[in-house]
């Protein structure tokens, strides 16, 4: 009888949680993080269809802009059918259909596709007039109870003990100072907070919160209860003012404040915040009111234009707004990313951040432009002054400035250099290094 080979010792299963690891991970493990997946991904029928399609496409070229065809329409917001009538090309995020752009279908490729002029027009509408964006796919949570404020003070890089009605854009930081989440938090009352994050990040972000939560608090998913209609652009105040009795002036409704107001026939929580660098409001509205609200916004005049997420991407690049997962992650800290941080005594990341601050960050997220004659999607190679390569993070065309805009992490000692080039499809192109956005660097339009 053959002898059984002795088992090899196996690695410990109880490894430190990634957020508590003492050093930066050598590899980006986000694609393997189970917290990427929410309930929509575990529904058997949808999972089966998507798995079969993924297997069939294993050797297919992954063109930028390619959208899966299987398991589509799984999650649909209240504006879904109306936007289809208006010519939307949907893209799926965490199973949720959200507007990509408004125009004919495109043939995905590495160059400029049929979507290009339509995205450009949407971009210009936000910069010059007023755009309407269905952002209902955003993940939304209410954090409440006596433990809510202590939890947020412990994890958020900003001061969270602010007056009710104040919006705080902040990052949730792990013990190493790494950015676990990039979120918007509105204080509704003394012990009630409203947290909004990207539609694909809800499970990930709240898992981090729950790891540190205390019994005296609750985290409630309210994502399906509210739709979000973003009204943005220089004429957004004019449009909303025609439909609401509320005072939307800067004194009564300043930037980064929230108010419960009426717009047309709908009660909304209006957040004066922006992801595009323009005057605007996010209208968080009970889902059953959303369609009527949208129709009245479109019908009010003022040249309102439907806008999708493709345009949002180019708009935020022009303002040098980093995006979580693409530009910042749990392996990046606020000092490297150029983000403000308040090292409060109770902050979990406080000791690590003070060490980073005192010795200086080893690298910096740096912004560049390249000629608009080439096409960039992100993932290209930036050539450092010494010839080494570093990957480009987000990249895309800025339709206001007429150039490609992109960012990359570079060693701190060369971050101020001008001797960089970018390699695109095997060819090298000159770039310009920028320390401020080319469009409205002081952010005057946001506070108009």
Half-sphere exposure of 245 (CA within 13 A, CB side): 4
Of the pLDDT bands very low, low, confident and very high (cuts 50, 70, 90), residue 184 is very high
Of the pLDDT bands very low, low, confident and very high (cuts 50, 70, 90), residue 23 is low
Q: CA 421 to CA 385: how far, in whole Å?
A: 8
Contact 122, 87 (CB under 8 A): no
What the block records as the tokens of 95 is: 């199973």
Contact 422, 431 (CB under 8 A): yes
Pick the more confident residue, 6 or 14.
6
Query: What pLDDT sits at residue 5?
Result: 46
pLDDT in tens, 380-404: 999 999 999 999 999 999 999 999 9
The strand order across the sheet containing 218-221 reads 167-173, 179-189, 192-197, 139-144, 218-221
Pick the more confident residue, 215 or 270.
270
Q: CA 337 to CA 381: how far, in whole Å?
A: 19
**Alpha-carbon separation of residue 320 from 34, 64, 291, 397, 437 (angstroms):** 29, 21, 33, 13, 6
**Alpha-carbon separation of residue 268 from 99, 238, 250, 281, 293 (angstroms):** 21, 17, 19, 11, 10
pLDDT in tens, 43-102: 999 999 999 999 999 999 999 999 999 999 999 999 999 999 999 999 999 999 999 999
What the block records as the tokens of 385 is: 């002054």
pLDDT in tens, 265-306: 999 999 999 999 999 999 999 999 999 999 999 999 899 999
Q: Tell me which H or E stretch contains 353.
A: helix 350-359
pLDDT in tens, 116-144: 999 999 999 999 999 999 999 999 999 99
Q: CA 61 to CA 109: how far, in whole Å?
A: 9
Query: What pLDDT sits at residue 26?
Result: 60
Domains with residue ranges and CATH for the chain: 139-221 (3.30.70.1400), 362-448 (2.40.30.110)
What region, left, alpha or beta, does residue 121 occupy, with left being phi > 0 and alpha being psi -120 to 50 degrees? alpha
Q: CA 78 to CA 90: how far, in whole Å?
A: 14
Q: CA 251 to CA 341: how far, in whole Å?
A: 27
Contact 322, 407 (CB under 8 A): yes
Of the pLDDT bands very low, low, confident and very high (cuts 50, 70, 90), residue 343 is confident
Residues facing 245 on adjacent strands: none
Residue of 319, 347, 353 lying closest to 333 (CA atoms): 353
Contacts of 212 (CB under 8 A, 6+ apart): 151, 154, 155, 348
pLDDT above 90 for 9: no
């Amino acid at each position: 009888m053959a002898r059984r080979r002795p088992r090899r010792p196996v690695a410990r299963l109880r490894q430190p949680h990634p957020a508590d690891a003492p050093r930066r991970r050598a590899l980006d493990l986000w694609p393997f993080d189970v917290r990427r997946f929410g309930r929509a991904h575990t529904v058997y029928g949808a999972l089966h269809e998507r798995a079969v399609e993924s297997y069939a496409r294993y050797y297919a070229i992954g063109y930028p802009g390619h959208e899966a065809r299987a398991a589509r329409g799984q999650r649909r917001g209240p504006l879904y059918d109306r936007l289809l009538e208006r010519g939307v090309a949907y893209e799926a995020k965490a199973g949720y259909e959200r507007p990509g752009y408004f125009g004919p279908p495109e043939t995905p490729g590495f160059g400029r596709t049929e979507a290009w002029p339509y995205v450009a027009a949407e971009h210009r509408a936000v910069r010059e007039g007023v755009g309407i964006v269905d952002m209902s796919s955003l993940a939304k949570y209410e954090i409440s109870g006596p433990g809510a404020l202590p939890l947020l003070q412990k994890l958020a890089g900003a001061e969270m003990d602010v007056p009710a009605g104040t919006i705080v854009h902040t990052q949730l930081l792990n013990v190493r100072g790494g950015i676990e989440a990039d979120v918007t938090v509105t204080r509704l009352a003394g012990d009630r907070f409203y947290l909004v994050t990207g539609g694909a990040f809800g499970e990930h972000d709240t898992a981090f919160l729950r790891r540190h939560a205390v019994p005296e608090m609750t985290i409630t998913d309210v994502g399906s209860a509210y739709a979000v209609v973003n009204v943005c652009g220089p004429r957004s105040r004019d449009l909303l003012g025609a439909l609401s009795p509320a005072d939307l002036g800067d004194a009564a409704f300043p930037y980064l404040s929230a108010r419960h107001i009426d717009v047309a026939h709908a009660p909304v929580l209006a957040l004066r915040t922006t992801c595009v660098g323009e005057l605007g409001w996010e209208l968080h509205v009970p889902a059953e009111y959303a369609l009527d609200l949208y129709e009245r916004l479109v019908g009010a005049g003022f040249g309102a234009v439907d806008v999708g997420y493709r345009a949002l991407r180019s708009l935020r690049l022009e303002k040098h707004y980093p995006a979580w997962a693409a530009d910042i992650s749990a392996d990046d800290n606020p000092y490297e990313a150029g983000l403000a941080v308040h090292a409060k005594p109770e902050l979990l990341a406080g000791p690590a951040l003070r060490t980073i601050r005192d010795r200086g960050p080893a690298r910096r997220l740096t912004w560049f432009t390249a000629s608009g004659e080439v096409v960039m999607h992100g993932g290209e190679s930036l050539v450092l002054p010494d010839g080494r390569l570093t990957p480009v993070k987000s990249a895309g065309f800025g339709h206001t400035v007429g150039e490609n805009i992109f960012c990359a992490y570079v060693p701190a000692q060369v971050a101020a250099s001008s001797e960089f080039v970018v390699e695109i499809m095997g060819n090298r192109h000159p770039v310009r290094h920028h320390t401020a956005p080319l469009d409205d660097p002081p952010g005057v339009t946001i506070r108009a």
